[in-house]
């Protein structure tokens, strides 16, 4: 029973942590699985690449949440974003 509660709590925290990132990604028209983790990391390293996607206009916390979401659901991640999800 304790294990179940722990897993449930972890699931809820993870969902809350990535929810903001997914909303921002949808708003910007970004698909997490369209790039590999390294590619998303490179996007966030360069101002011009972020500007192309509209990421440069986001607050630091929105950028952080978006990066977490995109790299966690990238094409080569453990949990790639499925089409239509």
pLDDT digits (tens, 9 = 90+) for 5-24: 766 555 554 544 445 789 99
- Cα angle value 6/8/14 (rounded, 5°): 100
Q: Considering the domain boundaries, does residue 80 fall inside one?
A: no
Radius of gyration of the chain (CA): 14
Helix (H) or strand (E) holding 16: helix 2-28
Q: Considering the domain boundaries, does residue 62 fall inside one?
A: yes
Q: What is the pLDDT of residue 45?
A: 96
Q: Considering the domain boundaries, does residue 84 fall inside one?
A: no
Q: Considering the domain boundaries, does residue 77 fall inside one?
A: no
pTM over 0.85: no
- Residue 79's pLDDT band (cuts 50, 70, 90): confident
Q: Considering the domain boundaries, does residue 31 fall inside one?
A: yes
Q: What is the pLDDT of residue 80?
A: 87
Q: Considering the domain boundaries, does residue 83 fall inside one?
A: no
- Residue 65's pLDDT band (cuts 50, 70, 90): very high
Range of the domain at 27: 2-72
- Cα angle value 32/33/35 (rounded, 5°): 90
**How many structural domains is the chain composed of?**
1
């Amino acid at each position: 029973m304790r294990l179940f509660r722990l897993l449930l709590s972890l699931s809820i925290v993870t969902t809350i942590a990535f929810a903001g990132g997914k909303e921002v990604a949808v708003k910007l028209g970004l698909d997490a699985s369209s790039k590999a983790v390294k590619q998303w990391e490179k996007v966030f390293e360069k101002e011009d690449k972020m500007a192309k996607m509209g990421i440069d206009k986001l607050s630091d916390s929105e950028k952080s949440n978006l990066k977490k979401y995109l790299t966690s659901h990238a094409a080569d991640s453990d949990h790639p974003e499925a089409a239509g999800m």
